[in-house]
Amino acid sequence: AARNVLTQIQNMRQGRLGDTAVTVDSEVMLQTFTLKSFCRQLQKITVCVHAAQKLDLYQLLARNAYSPQEMFVPVLGKTVSSTVHERVMVRFEWHDGTVKNLHVGLPSLQKYQKRLMGAVHLFERRVQWLNRTGSQQIWGTVCEQRVQVLLDTSGMNAHYQLHIQHAIRILLQEQLANKHSFNVIVFGSDVKSWQEKMVPSTHENLQAVWLWIQAVECVGGRNTLAALRCALEEETQEESSLTQGVYLLTTGMPDQHMVSVTAYVSERCSATNLNLHVCLFTGEEDTARCPLPRYATRTETARALSGLAHAGNGRFLWMTDTGIVESDDISALIGEMETAVNYFQKVSSEQCVPGAFLT
């Protein structure tokens, strides 16, 4: 689906959309965005593109769309329907399946096309940014101001220990340095918290937690539920207007039954200003070494942990040695791009404007 969307966008830029010639704005601004500005851009794009920016196609056409009229004419003794002159109006299928009589000027649609493609450029740049080699590829975008990081250091991750250390190091460097406060919790069979409560994101604290993590060994089981309790129950004791997020990095299923873990997370997060985001890393297919009840294929594990993230009002990200497999952030952006392509196709059709082609 993503490749199909990108192919259609490339065709638009080359001036073709199917059999129709189109013209779009080809200028792309080449400027560098910081993490903070990209967080603002994400909120602006996902919230405002189809609403506040009025890029929803049906919002644009609503004031020039009229429902077909039928009325009984006593003189004629019958019901007559309104007639649409083909050079003035066209029949256009509405989002609810009804048909509207539509008239809109060509300049308005061309202006809309330009704004629509401007939004698509932002989507493309955002996807590229999320795919770059860095902490965003592993953790996604850390948008909250108060952050707790949960690291799976179970014995099954002994051969992934360097990867886990690398993941937390680049997170500390690239995203946690500008946060209000943070804490790190590691868990195997037992749960260990670096600090009892979150501390300010100072250079000294970031360096101290990095030294602490380097001394942690991967041993024991995967007591995910206990780690989540440690993070979520501590957070509810803190009264704060700041946004709060918990980021769980794991490589597999919890020791506990998934239904129990998901139910607990759903209950805690629904009552607090808190989001749980789940980051899954899988390497080679080695689940056969996992004892019951943790045994699950990579796909089954991904589906279960995705459900856990969504129960916690958060996002899910799955990556392997070769890159991102699944990302809620990227999926949302691809969905917006598909909507934009669909709208572009509708306004590029000669049927949208009476007697006119968008050339």
Residue 121: what pLDDT? Answer: 84
Give φ, ψ of 181 to 5 degrees. -160, 165
pLDDT at 355: 46
Question: pTM of this prediction?
Answer: 0.70
Counting Cβ atoms within 10 Å, is residue 116 exposed (0-12), middle (13-18) or buried (19+)?
Answer: buried
Quick one: pLDDT at residue 155?
93
Name 152's bridge partners.
187
Q: Is pLDDT above 90 for 285?
A: no
> Are the C-beta atoms of residues 180 and 201 closer than 8 Å to each other?
yes
Residue where the block lists tokens 């250091």: 153
Give the confidence band of 350 by pLDDT, cuts at 50, 70, 90.
very low
In tens, the pLDDT along 106-162 reads 676 777 778 778 888 888 888 888 877 689 889 998 999 999 999 999 999 998 999
pLDDT the model gives residue 307 = 96
Q: How far apart are CA 302 and CA 281, in angstroms?
A: 9
Nearest Cα residue to 277 out of 179, 149, 189: 149
Q: Give percent above pLDDT 90 in the chain.
A: 39
Give the pLDDT confidence score for residue 198 in this predicted structure.
Answer: 94
Amino acid identity of residue 179, one-letter, is K
From 217, 296, 191, select the one nearest 252 (Cα to Cα): 296
**What does the pLDDT read at residue 334?**
86
Least confident segment among 77-91, 142-156, 300-314: 77-91
Residue pLDDT, tens place only, 226-245: 999 999 887 544 556 888 99
Asked whether residue 84 carries a pLDDT value surpassing 80, the answer given is: no
pLDDT, one tens digit per residue, over 154-185 is 999 998 999 999 999 999 999 999 999 999 99
Residue bearing the bigger pLDDT, 359 or 99: 99
Token couple for 267: 């209950």
Q: Which two tokens stand for residue 26?
A: 């080809």
Average pLDDT value over all residues in the chain: 77
Whether 207 shows a pLDDT value over 60: the answer reads yes
Output the pLDDT for position 36.
Answer: 43
Calpha distance 19→22 (Å, rounded): 10
Q: Is the pLDDT of residue 63 over 50?
A: yes
pLDDT, residue 78, reads: 76
Average pLDDT, stretch 281-289?
64
Give the residue carrying structure tokens 């380097």. Answer: 214
Contacts of 112 (CB under 8 A, 6+ apart): 55, 57, 60, 347
Q: From 61, 22, 7, 10, select the one nearest 344 (Cα to Cα).
A: 22
Neighbours of 103 (CB within 10 A): 17
Q: How confident is the model at residue 295 (pLDDT cuts 50, 70, 90)?
A: low
Q: What is the mean pLDDT of residues 281-301?
A: 67
- The pLDDT score that the predictor gives to residue 356 is 43
Q: Is the peptide bond before 293 cis (omega within 30 degrees of 0)?
A: yes
Q: What is the pLDDT of residue 301?
A: 92
Q: Which of 149-163, 202-216, 224-238, 337-351 has the lowest mean pLDDT?
A: 337-351
List the structure tokens of 49.
């593109």
Q: Which two tokens stand for residue 67?
A: 């429902």
Residue reference for tokens 């991967």:
218
- Phi and psi dihedrals of 282, rounded to 5? -125, 135
The pLDDT, as a whole number, for residue 117 is: 82
Spell out the domains of the chain, with CATH numbers in brackets.
2-132+333-348 (no CATH), 141-314 (3.40.50.410)
